[in-house]
Amino acid sequence: MRLLMEMLIEAGDHIIEHNLFSKMGIPGWAVPRIKETWESEPPMLYGRFDFAYGPDGAKLLEYNADTPTALLETAIQWHWVQDVFGPSGDQWNTVHEALVNRWRELNEGDRLPGQWVHMLHTTAEGSGEDFMTIGYMAATAHEAGIRVELMPIENLGFNEDDGFLDMQGRYVRTAFKLYPWEWIVHEDFSRAALDRIGDGEGQTTWIEPIWKMMWSNKGILPVLWELYPEHESLLPAWFEGEEPDGLESYVRKPLLAREGADSVAVIDGKVAEKGPGQGYGGEGFVVQQYADLGEYEDGVRPVLGLWTVDMEPVGCGIREQRGLITDNTSRFVPHVIAD
């Protein structure tokens, strides 16, 4: 996974050098800030690789670099191992410790401006998953000695003199957001958010940084494949319209979507399954060669979520579903390392 992180850095450089932003559905007016933050390296926190692990081994399906969820489930599954297997139980999971240490590192390094870290989420997400995730993230920051304020992003205020403010009139100098940049750039406050990126007076440090629009975009998949063709961990992938003739088994994915929404799995030239329709795809699509997830007891197919904190791999969480496309109804399954 460290190698994959290094490959992603090369892919980011390639996107900038070859100006692939429009191809990835990224608005041109956001590009200067993406380039600037790519060079200045403001704080980043975490991400989640999704892997198929079937007959052909581990294959990267995508990288969730901006607002990955299933974080809480991954972190607390350690308690299941201890309850079921006792002290001898083991699993790959240092997610909690890594997050606390990362927050502490950023705090002690004076990389979190202001007296608070404001944790922003949306009230529009009805399942409660976002709120539980942001609450857990707040707990890790609090454990690192950081003052935290949870706040719906809908309550974020702004004025020209002071920048962004919370409901108590306090400056929002550091904001962790569970709200993707591809949504922010279409909000009424988008220009202010980009104009005020920074750690100075009246500015806001955003976590994750805006350059992650390159990594959290499915367009990163064909870029990786172009740079590293035949890499054992990658699946062949192309921007739609550039795939080779005769491709029979593939998944068509929107550049900007989540949890399998508006994806289509095609096997042997026939549509085998469609993900839930949620209106994604306006920016375009990628085509990725189909990967067999394997089929296990009760017909379930697992996807391995491999977590990173900063640049380091820290743990695994597994989601499973009977269908070919893993969506937001998938089940989380804890794992144990057996002798």
pLDDT one-digit tens code per residue, 103-129 = 999 999 999 999 999 999 998 877 888
Q: How far apart are CA 288 and CA 61, in angstroms?
A: 8
Query: 6: buried, middle or exposed (CB in 10 Å: 19+, 13-18, 0-12)?
Result: exposed
Mean pLDDT throughout 80-99?
Answer: 92
Q: How far apart are CA 317 and CA 216, in angstroms?
A: 19
Task: Give residue 129's pLDDT.
Answer: 87
Task: Give residue 64's pLDDT.
Answer: 95
Query: 275: buried, middle or exposed (CB in 10 Å: 19+, 13-18, 0-12)?
Result: buried
Mean pLDDT throughout 69-90?
Answer: 91
Mean pLDDT throughout 170-182?
Answer: 97
Q: How far apart are CA 334 and CA 330, in angstroms?
A: 13
Residue 339 confidence (pLDDT) above 80: no
Q: How far apart are CA 59 and CA 44, in angstroms?
A: 25
Q: How far apart are CA 249 and CA 18, in angstroms?
A: 29
Band (pLDDT 50/70/90 cuts) for residue 233 is very high
Mean pLDDT throughout 253-271?
Answer: 94
Name the pairing type of β-strands 57-64 and 237-239: unpaired
Q: Is there a domain that residue 130 lies in? A: yes
- Name the helix (H) or strand (E) containing 235: none
**Which residues, 6+ apart, have CB-to-CB distance to 329 below 8 Å?**
321
328 within 8 A of 321, measured Cβ to Cβ: no
310 within 8 A of 45, measured Cβ to Cβ: yes
Query: 329: buried, middle or exposed (CB in 10 Å: 19+, 13-18, 0-12)?
Result: exposed
Task: Give residue 169's pLDDT.
Answer: 94
Q: Is there a domain that residue 26 lies in? A: yes
Q: How many Cβ atoms sit within 10 Å of the Cβ of residue 298?
A: 7
Residue in the block written with tokens 């806001």: 204
Q: How many Cβ atoms sit within 10 Å of the Cβ of residue 300?
A: 18
Task: Give residue 295's pLDDT.
Answer: 82
Residue 2 confidence (pLDDT) above 90: no
Chain centroid to CA 37: how far? 18
Task: Give residue 104's pLDDT.
Answer: 98
CATH number for 17: 3.40.50
241 within 8 A of 252, measured Cβ to Cβ: no
Task: Give residue 250's pLDDT.
Answer: 98
Would you call 102 helix, strand, or coil by DSSP? helix
Task: Give residue 56's pLDDT.
Answer: 84
Mean pLDDT throughout 168-173?
Answer: 96
Which residues in 20-43 are b (16+ Cβ under 10 Å) and which e? bbebbbbeeebbebbbbbbeeebb
Q: Is there a domain that residue 128 lies in? A: yes
Which structural domain, as residue segments, surrounds residue 98?
2-45+93-214
Mean pLDDT throughout 11-36?
Answer: 97
Task: Give residue 17's pLDDT.
Answer: 98
Q: Is there a domain that residue 79 lies in? A: no
Task: Give residue 338's pLDDT.
Answer: 80
Band (pLDDT 50/70/90 cuts) for residue 54 is confident
Residue 266 confidence (pLDDT) above 80: yes
Range in 201-210, 270-279, 311-320, 329-338 with the lowest mean pLDDT: 329-338
Q: Is there a domain that residue 106 lies in? A: yes
Number of domains in the chain: 1
Band (pLDDT 50/70/90 cuts) for residue 157 is very high
294 within 8 A of 282, measured Cβ to Cβ: no
Q: Is there a domain that residue 257 lies in? A: no
Mean pLDDT throughout 254-258?
Answer: 92
Band (pLDDT 50/70/90 cuts) for residue 71 is very high
pLDDT in tens, 121-150: 998 877 888 999 999 999 999 999 999 999
CA dihedral 146, 156, 182, 161 (to 10 degrees): -100
158 within 8 A of 164, measured Cβ to Cβ: yes
Q: How far apart are CA 290 and CA 58, in angstroms?
A: 13
Q: Is there a domain that residue 194 lies in? A: yes
Residue 243 confidence (pLDDT) above 80: yes
Q: Is there a domain that residue 310 lies in? A: no
Task: Give residue 24's pLDDT.
Answer: 97
Residue 259 confidence (pLDDT) above 90: no
Range in 84-93, 227-236, 265-274 with the lowest mean pLDDT: 84-93
- Across all residues in the chain, what is the average pLDDT? 95
Task: Give residue 327's pLDDT.
Answer: 87
